[in-house]
Chains A and B, each alone.
Chain A
Amino acid sequence: MSAPTKGSKGDRMTWVGRAIRRLEDPALVTGQGRFTADLPATHWVRFVRSSVASGKITKIETPQDAMVVTAADLKGVKKITPMLHKFNYKPVGQPILADSQVRFVGEPVAAVVAASEEDAEDIAELVEVSIEETTPVIDARAALESGAPQVHAEAPGNVILEGKFKTPDFDAVWNGAHKVIKVEARSHRQNATPMEARAGHAAYDASTGRVTLTCTTQMPHLMRTAIADVLAFPESDLRVIAPDVGGGFGQKMSLCAEYVVLVWLARKLKNSVAWTEDRRENLIAGFHARDQYITLEGAFDKDAKLIALRADIAANIGAYSCFPTTCGVEPLMAMAEMPGPYDVRQYECLARGVITNTCTMAPYRGVSRPVITFTLERLMDKAASAFSVDPIDIRRRNLIDKFPYTSAMGLVYDEATYKQTLEMAVKAIDVPAFRARQKAARAQGRYLGIGFATFCERTGYGSPAFAARGMEITPGWETVILTVDPSGFVEARIGSSPHGQGLRTTLAQIIADEIGVTPDVIKVVHGDTDRAPYGWGTFASRSLVISGGATLIAAQKVRAKLIKIASHLLEAAPGDIVLEDGQAKVAGTDRCITIAKMARAAYHQTHRFKGEIEPGITESGTYDPPGTFSNACHVAIVAVDVETGRVTVEKFLVAEDAGKIINPMIADGQVHGGIAQGIGNALLEEIIYDDNGGILTANLADYMPPTAREIPPIELHHIETPSTTSITKAKGLGEGGCIGAPAAVVNAINDALAPFGVVIDEIPATPQRMRVVRSPVAHGKIESIDVTAALALPGVHAVWTHADVAHIPRIGFRLTRIAGLEPYQQPVLAHATVRYVGEPVAVVFADDQYVAEDAAELVELAIEPLRATLLAAEQPGFYEHELSTEAGVVRKGYGDVEAAFRNAHAIVSLELSIGRHSGVPLETRGAVARYDAARDVLEMHGAAKVPHWNRDQIAQMLGRKRESVQLFESHVGGGFGIRGELYPEDVLVCAAALKFRRPIKWIEDRREHLIAANHSRDQQHKVRAAIDSDGRILAIDDEFFHDNGAYMRTHAATVPDLAAAMLPGPYIVPAYRATGHIRLTNKTPCGTYRAPGRYESTFVRERLLDAIAAKVGVDTVEIRRRNLIAKSAMPYELGLETLGTHIIYDSGDYALLLDKALAAADWENLQQQLRQRRQAGEMVGAGVAMFVEKSGLGPFDTVRVEVTPAGTVEVITGVASVGQGVETVIAQICADALGIDYKNIRVIHGQTDRIDKGMGAFASRVTVMCGEATRLAASKLRDKALAAAAELMQTSANTLDIVNGEIIRAGGPGPSMPLGELARALPAGLSAEDTFESAHMVYPYGVHVAAVRVDGDTGAVAIERYVIAYDIGKAVNPMLVEGQITGGLAQGVGGGAAGGISL
């Protein structure tokens, strides 16, 4: 287009770029604005809304003579059913009034029509809606669980859409990452809360049959199209007017069913009908937004450069899909724009829209980007921390700086200033000065923080961008019709529909520059489908770019026409015409003509143009741009009151680039308003549902938008990079304030609370969510320990703190192929920092335990509390900053899991949580240590079941030779894993015995035991199975979090390792992947507990099997039969290893054992009984669990068998006995091997001075390993005895035998020799030692069947029946075996030989 603008505008000041006052304000600020609710009406409507989140309407009773409309009246009215043609979208329809089914609290069920609002409300109270309630599902994650209530039959699994994206090289790049950083972000639900709630007024015009709907909408044309469609009448019979609209923020761009009812009523009553929503209705039933879970992982190279990004987005979309954007608006926006302003070439994303029984979601200022920016910016801050670089620096390394840039998703970013705005903000806020202030404040107990958010905001996008989402209705273009009327005034009719943005002013500025008039003579007409051209409305920061572009095109056309007219009338060349001051002038002369005169001529004297110029001055422009990205850096400075959790935003600074700024004052106002909403989103605003789907925040005291008092001074800086993809060079900025603020504020909170280790990845960040845990002190800095009072007590001889034992190294832990966790070993007394409640800090030595306890109370500890992360597993622990993410991860697997999931018939997912347990042996911990100076031997009597291991550890820690430490295991009252540990207390007792040269004794009390002895379990699993159509498992993918507590103790890594290795169990799992994250938290450290790993994995696997059964519709037994490993496949190599050994199931007939168990349980009969009882209203059920146990853990056991001079036999083992009956079993084995009565055999264990090496009693290994070593040693002894006896008796050894402890001649009477006599006769005595080594384990297996009854009133569960079938190979002592199994059952597991619990 030829635009002779240069000469005509000259160098004079343009209107564009000036902060002129808004033309719309005089009316608004003097009370002359006209809003929907101002209109009088004959009839008023009150909606009766569902008070129930999910249920079936059984009856609606209405008062007599009242006019009440229900779904039954709306025959022929269609449902609102927006459509999306991609992403596996499931169209669901929303009835205008609920028909039979209600799906959220607040859903309109009936419309009451009365003469006034008051009457309507009175009558509405009398309408009785009977609803048969069904269980609702409120939370997106809950809705995704298998077995969750289905909100719509059309959308199985409550997934309404599923977007997936992955760049081809993603996996390769991901696997090469140096570090992976993860954020699990949660944004709670919010309401846009415009000042004016919704309102509609429909009036029927009898003369034309038309209805005029006046309503508070952002898109009048779309309302008209949609309502005419739903009610099936011609669009021309409906006029929609959006008068002054008191804010929308997206909430008013979707079609609400209430407006459809109004139009229907106006047509039916042939009159006017009005409805004004109240605030409660708006908060429960206006549209909601933001409710998302995002898991975002960033792979970084060694230079902290982001190389790959993986996102899992679950957006709660409420009960229905909104029109016209569909519910894809949030999840798909999140998917498309997740990478934000950062240069990352590899991207994988899963974005799901999840239906729940909650209010329908619609766009809200920023649409998803406040959430994704928050998530991404948290990731950047966490990565900065993990790489020990500054948060600003990590952004510098990653921001895009070459344009145009095509993102991994294919979006094209136009010229922008990501780095420049960051640097501008950094400079303006003066980071070094802030850090100094922050340091000084911290010293005074005040916590300040600074947070950055850099982001880009896609604005002004046209139809191609929307089409990419597959929307059936594709917004994009805008049209502007610009007229100079005969009086010379200018009127722009626009399709956009501003509602507070100041478009009347900014568009007038654009027009004024083109046609040389002042903005005040220009009227901008909008919001009336009769007057304004078809258009999309105002949303998505689009109007100034698109409508502004269309305005410019139309104005350029008008300008050209005016020049043409002037050149005719002034008889001058067009190139000489200048338009200014409302006139056309001939440059360099005094000849001119006013635009008013030209307009008269154009309409009333067209003959003067001799047919060369068309009559009138009306031109139209249409614009459909590709879209442009504005960008900004937001900085928040906050103060956190750590006592109350109050966050005060002290300062907010913005450096923004929105291209050419048309009106700086309006631009600043948009940013200010957005930031105010963003701060509200970050700190205050939250729609809270109760479990039944009722809303607890239905007024503005409970739902808390910020007030002016919560908003700090905002400092704005602009860079203007003219957009090359927008003809006005302007970019949109309406949403930016809201997009960056939550991220900046929450990053600042995290910075402020860094000294406490607080991590909060949730908005709003309420005081409750981040409050500092103070007491008891789980995590704190030891400021001082005052022992004077304790020492002064008579009978106290010493009190030790860390300084006294600083030379003792930390307690070691055994690595189970997980490197990098060594730094998290435990000091014997806390040094500088305490990390769990119960951690030993000081130790008192006194004459007796009473004095010791009194003295301990007098030790004064001053501990400054730090933030404890007790609250949730999703909050990484205090160590987060030190812990490399990869170091704490257990990975196991085989096969192509991804392919299996891609090809699966169905996928079953479960989230399971296993609580924290204590082993609770009958006897608590304790130790007695004594130093024998004569022999220079330290002796400790303890209740340990790994005596040799502990002996070696103690010797090493105290710097002594192995031989000079001896450990004696006494009788031990149960262990269950608790005793497989060397505890700080044991070491302290030994160290004190050495130091004070006197016996030292410590006995733990029960409270100490429960808080300070090893804990266990505490895992959360997210497990998925890919299955074929018969329910056969194709693959299992398990991700779990193992909450290890504060330190890595001896076997800390064993539990997650076994949990990962034993998950496939007795089933064929062709592909498998386990990812176990070991987390360090401020809780008691964990260790092993009976059946570590198998307990957890069996629970997860067996729950999964039942879920698969439910999915494919077969019973719990059949699903197991289909998946069990067949006997013919034995031995079965699993393809996994654990504890250093390959897992090879040695033998077994799993199916046979299952049959045996079922037969024993009389399964068919049991099922029938249960069915009958269920029909009678009882809550009863039965379940089956199967498992493979591992036992016989090597690597060796050594046993010496000795014949004493008295003739008894001693078996000296390296194991311990904690109640399993080791003495009996070993004696039985030895008796058989040696040919003597087991009663004459004494088994000695747990005495390191009697045998130099041994392993201990754990992991169901004693019978297998020690038993075999005993057999070998006994056989050797037998051979040795026979050989020696043969020599003495001068005969051949093979003629001798041992019977009843005597050596006799085989096959006949003759002289015999008791073994004791033989031993006495031999100078070296009679003994033999042998070692059994094994790199393999054996795999017993079992089936548990349980039947339970749940008391519906109390929730109490009674186990009515329990049947166990097992195959542990040869049972050495059946009585002991059964004792082990039933004891294990009481603990919730089949411990010694089992790991299964029936469910």
Chain B
Amino acid sequence: MKPAPFIRHVPRTLDEALKILAAVASQDGRVLAGGQSLVPIMAFRLAKPAHLVDINEVAGLDRLASDGKALSIGARVRHAAFHKSVVDNPLGKLLTDVARHIAHYPIRMRGTFCGSLAHADPASEWCLVAATLDATMVAKSTRGERLIAAKNYFEGIMSTALAEDELLCEARLPLLAADEKFGFNEFNRRAGDFAMAAALVTYRLQGGKITEARIGVGGAEPSPRRIPEAEAALNGKAPGDAAFRAAAEAAAKAVDPLEDHQTTGEYRRDLVRAVVRRALEHSA
């Protein structure tokens, strides 16, 4: 279980990194950040990049800051950064709640937020966060900078809108309203395993009724996404069992679930129903 031969480049600046990436991208070059997904698949030789552009020494990519509207998360920010709240906003607590579901402690110490988005595993918690909150991805290359909205970013299982010479430098998560409620739930068979279904929900209350509902589902389809049918079922309703069940049912109906040797689509649909309802219960 040794990876195929590769050349590792260790740039110190973003410019240098983008130049190297531009040069090696067409020769099967890949960006190495935390390596928690890439290195295992290299060990299995499922990926055999000829070049690795290791960004761990690139200055400035560890930036994690809020401008009052959005939280910017640089390419070197590790999962573990979110063990504590990083911003004085409900978003900080949301990220803390989600972070503890990501794999295991050693992995969280090394893996990065942007790395998860770039890898785009359907079961990734951070991808679900990005999709549900309509994050903006900042992609850079020697050709310039590009902002990609989450709904245009995820293109399928481990597939994104990033070009091969583009580095995902930053992800921007909009801050939540001060009174915004949120809830998260995921199902897996062992602690730390990939989610077989996960849900993230946020909403606000106006006169006791739900508004601005966001319901995101991950792990169930090739990419995480918001489920408009479920959001519609929730908006305008008073929070409570009936509304939550209706939304969960709508989500379960709306998804086109993945299947694998352990999990039928029918079962995964049931899981979607369960995680959406539980995320909503968690929010209340």
Q: A residues engaging B (CB < 8 A)?
A: 117-118, 121-122, 125, 278-280, 641, 643-646, 684, 688, 690, 696, 699, 701-702, 704, 706-707, 709-710, 766-768, 771, 774
Contacts of A122 in B (CB 8 A): 4-5
**In whole angstroms, how far apart are the Cα atoms of A643 and B252 in the complex?**
13
Question: What are 18 A-B pairs with beta-carbon distances under 8 A?
Answer: A117-B2, A278-B1, A643-B274, A645-B267, A646-B187, A646-B189, A684-B189, A688-B261, A688-B262, A701-B193, A702-B262, A704-B190, A704-B193, A707-B192, A766-B189, A768-B263, A768-B267, A774-B270
A766 touches B44 (CB 8 A): no
Query: Is B45 an interface residue, CB under 8 A from the partner?
Result: yes
Query: Is B126 an interface residue, CB under 8 A from the partner?
Result: no
B44 touches A699 (CB 8 A): yes
Picked from A117, A118, A280, the residue with its CB within 8 Å of the CB of B44 is A280
Contacts of A644 in B (CB 8 A): 187, 270-271, 274
Query: Is B273 an interface residue, CB under 8 A from the partner?
Result: yes
**In whole angstroms, how far apart are the Cα atoms of A706 and B45 in the complex?**
26
Picked from B45, B187, B192, the residue with its CB within 8 Å of the CB of A709 is B192
Contacts of B203 in A (CB 8 A): none
Contacts of A645 in B (CB 8 A): 267
Nearest A residue to B277 via CB reads A643
Q: B residues engaging A (CB < 8 A)?
A: 1-5, 44-45, 187, 189-194, 261-264, 267, 270-271, 273-274
B242 to chain A, nearest CB (A): 13
**In whole angstroms, how far apart are the Cα atoms of A125 and B45 in the complex?**
10
Contacts of A641 in B (CB 8 A): 274
A1389 to chain B, nearest CB (A): 33
Contacts of A771 in B (CB 8 A): 267, 270
Contacts of A699 in B (CB 8 A): 44
A125 touches B189 (CB 8 A): no
**In whole angstroms, how far apart are the Cα atoms of A706 and B189 in the complex?**
9
Nearest A residue to B275 via CB reads A644
Given contacts A125-B45, A767-B189, contact A643 B270 (CB under 8 A): yes
B77 to chain A, nearest CB (A): 25
**In whole angstroms, how far apart are the Cα atoms of A771 and B189 in the complex?**
13
B273 touches A643 (CB 8 A): yes
B262 touches A768 (CB 8 A): yes
Contacts of A768 in B (CB 8 A): 262-264, 267
**In whole angstroms, how far apart are the Cα atoms of A771 and B190 in the complex?**
17
**In whole angstroms, how far apart are the Cα atoms of A643 and B1 in the complex?**
39
| Among all A-B residue pairs, the 7 with the closest Cβ atoms | A278-B1, A709-B191, A643-B274, A118-B2, A696-B261, A121-B2, A644-B274
Picked from B44, B191, B273, B274, the residue with its CB within 8 Å of the CB of A707 is B191
Contacts of B273 in A (CB 8 A): 643
**In whole angstroms, how far apart are the Cα atoms of A278 and B43 in the complex?**
10
Nearest B residue to A771 via CB reads B267
Contacts of A706 in B (CB 8 A): 190
Contacts of A688 in B (CB 8 A): 261-262
Nearest B residue to A688 via CB reads B261
Given contacts A643-B270, A644-B271, A768-B263, contact A125 B190 (CB under 8 A): no
B261 touches A690 (CB 8 A): yes
Nearest A residue to B260 via CB reads A696
**In whole angstroms, how far apart are the Cα atoms of A644 and B186 in the complex?**
11
**In whole angstroms, how far apart are the Cα atoms of A64 and B190 in the complex?**
46
**In whole angstroms, how far apart are the Cα atoms of A699 and B40 in the complex?**
10
A11 to chain B, nearest CB (A): 50
B278 to chain A, nearest CB (A): 8
Nearest B residue to A643 via CB reads B274
**Given A646-B187, A774-B270, 4 other A-B contacts at CB below 8 A?**
A699-B44, A710-B190, A766-B189, A766-B262
Contacts of B187 in A (CB 8 A): 644, 646
**In whole angstroms, how far apart are the Cα atoms of A646 and B275 in the complex?**
13
Nearest A residue to B3 via CB reads A118
Which applies to chain B's interface (DSSP): helix, strand, loop or mixed? Answer: loop
A122 to chain B, nearest CB (A): 7
Number of residue pairs spanning A and B whose beta carbons lie under 8 angstroms apart: 60
Contacts of B270 in A (CB 8 A): 643-644, 771, 774
**In whole angstroms, how far apart are the Cα atoms of A692 and B93 in the complex?**
48
Nearest A residue to B191 via CB reads A709
Picked from A125, A279, A707, the residue with its CB within 8 Å of the CB of B4 is A125
**In whole angstroms, how far apart are the Cα atoms of A860 and B267 in the complex?**
26
Contacts of B190 in A (CB 8 A): 684, 704, 706-707, 709-710
**In whole angstroms, how far apart are the Cα atoms of A646 and B44 in the complex?**
30
Contacts of A121 in B (CB 8 A): 1-2, 4, 45
A116 to chain B, nearest CB (A): 8
A1244 to chain B, nearest CB (A): 53
B265 to chain A, nearest CB (A): 11
Picked from A280, A646, A707, A774, the residue with its CB within 8 Å of the CB of B1 is A280
**In whole angstroms, how far apart are the Cα atoms of A688 and B262 in the complex?**
9
B5 to chain A, nearest CB (A): 7
**In whole angstroms, how far apart are the Cα atoms of A645 and B2 in the complex?**
37
B202 to chain A, nearest CB (A): 23
A126 to chain B, nearest CB (A): 11
Contacts of A690 in B (CB 8 A): 261
Contacts of A704 in B (CB 8 A): 189-190, 193
Most chain B CB within 10 A, of A643, A644, A684, A709, is at: A644
**In whole angstroms, how far apart are the Cα atoms of A278 and B44 in the complex?**
10
B19 to chain A, nearest CB (A): 29
**In whole angstroms, how far apart are the Cα atoms of A704 and B192 in the complex?**
12
B279 to chain A, nearest CB (A): 13
**In whole angstroms, how far apart are the Cα atoms of A1318 and B270 in the complex?**
78
Contacts of A709 in B (CB 8 A): 190-192
Contacts of B264 in A (CB 8 A): 768
B39 to chain A, nearest CB (A): 13
Most chain A CB within 10 A, of B5, B190, B193, is at: B190
Contacts of B1 in A (CB 8 A): 121, 278-280
A284 to chain B, nearest CB (A): 12
Contacts of A280 in B (CB 8 A): 1, 44
Nearest A residue to B43 via CB reads A278
Contacts of A279 in B (CB 8 A): 1
**In whole angstroms, how far apart are the Cα atoms of A495 and B45 in the complex?**
41
**In whole angstroms, how far apart are the Cα atoms of A774 and B189 in the complex?**
21
Contacts of B191 in A (CB 8 A): 707, 709-710
B37 to chain A, nearest CB (A): 11
**In whole angstroms, how far apart are the Cα atoms of A280 and B2 in the complex?**
12
Contacts of B274 in A (CB 8 A): 641, 643-644
B157 to chain A, nearest CB (A): 15
Contacts of B45 in A (CB 8 A): 121, 125
B196 to chain A, nearest CB (A): 8
Nearest B residue to A118 via CB reads B2
**In whole angstroms, how far apart are the Cα atoms of A702 and B44 in the complex?**
14
Contacts of B192 in A (CB 8 A): 707, 709
A701 touches B189 (CB 8 A): no
Contacts of A696 in B (CB 8 A): 261
Nearest B residue to A281 via CB reads B1
Picked from B193, B194, B267, the residue with its CB within 8 Å of the CB of A767 is B267
**In whole angstroms, how far apart are the Cα atoms of A690 and B190 in the complex?**
23
**In whole angstroms, how far apart are the Cα atoms of A593 and B158 in the complex?**
76
**In whole angstroms, how far apart are the Cα atoms of A995 and B5 in the complex?**
87
Nearest B residue to A705 via CB reads B190
**In whole angstroms, how far apart are the Cα atoms of A701 and B41 in the complex?**
12
B257 to chain A, nearest CB (A): 13
**In whole angstroms, how far apart are the Cα atoms of A535 and B186 in the complex?**
52
B63 to chain A, nearest CB (A): 32
B273 to chain A, nearest CB (A): 7
Contacts of A766 in B (CB 8 A): 189, 262
**In whole angstroms, how far apart are the Cα atoms of A690 and B261 in the complex?**
9
**In whole angstroms, how far apart are the Cα atoms of A688 and B261 in the complex?**
8
**In whole angstroms, how far apart are the Cα atoms of A704 and B2 in the complex?**
22
**In whole angstroms, how far apart are the Cα atoms of A768 and B262 in the complex?**
7
**In whole angstroms, how far apart are the Cα atoms of A709 and B187 in the complex?**
14
Nearest B residue to A710 via CB reads B190
**In whole angstroms, how far apart are the Cα atoms of A684 and B192 in the complex?**
14
**In whole angstroms, how far apart are the Cα atoms of A641 and B189 in the complex?**
12
B198 to chain A, nearest CB (A): 12
